[in-house]
């Protein structure tokens, strides 16, 4: 099956998966940044005590 034929039949699912892969990657990056900041804040708090 050529790429065109495959996408003609399943393109909507591929696009949907791609869209949510991008959103998931971004939300994942937000979580990572949040945890890093929270650790930094904790470290700062314990350092100033």
Partner 1 sequence: MKRAFPILAVLTALFLAYALYQSLVVAPTDALQGDVYRIIYYHVPSAWTAFLLFFVNFIASVQYLANAKPSTKQAAKWIVIIVGVVGAVAPFIPQVRDLLPAGLYPSSVATTILAVPVFYFLIGKFFPGQDLDVLAVTTAEVGVVFCTIVLVTGPIWARPVWGIWWAPGDIRLTSTLVLWLIYVSYLVLRRFSDSAQTQKLAAVLAIFGALDVPLVYFSIWFFRTQHPQPVIGGGGSIDPRMLHVLLISWMAFLCFAFLVCWSRYRLEKLRRAVEEAYALASLQGAEDVARGVTTSSVSLNGSAR
Cα distances (Å, whole numbers) of residue 18 to 12, 31, 48? 10, 20, 45
Give me the least distance between CB of 11 and partner 1, in Å please: 4
Residues that bind partner 1 (CB under 8 A): 3-5, 7-9, 11-12, 14-16, 18-19, 22-23, 26-27, 30, 33-34, 37-38, 40-41, 44, 47-48
Give me the least distance between CB of 35 and partner 1, in Å please: 11
d(CA 26, CA 15): 17
Which residue in this structure is represented by tokens 């892969």?
21
Give me the least distance between CB of 4 and partner 1, in Å please: 5
State whether residue 49 is helix, strand or coil. Answer: coil
């Amino acid at each position: 099956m050529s790429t065109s034929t495959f996408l003609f039949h399943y393109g909507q699912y591929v696009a949907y998966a791609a869209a949510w892969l991008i959103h998931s990657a971004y939300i994942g990056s937000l979580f990572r940044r949040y945890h890093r900041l929270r650790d930094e804040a904790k470290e700062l708090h314990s350092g100033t005590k």
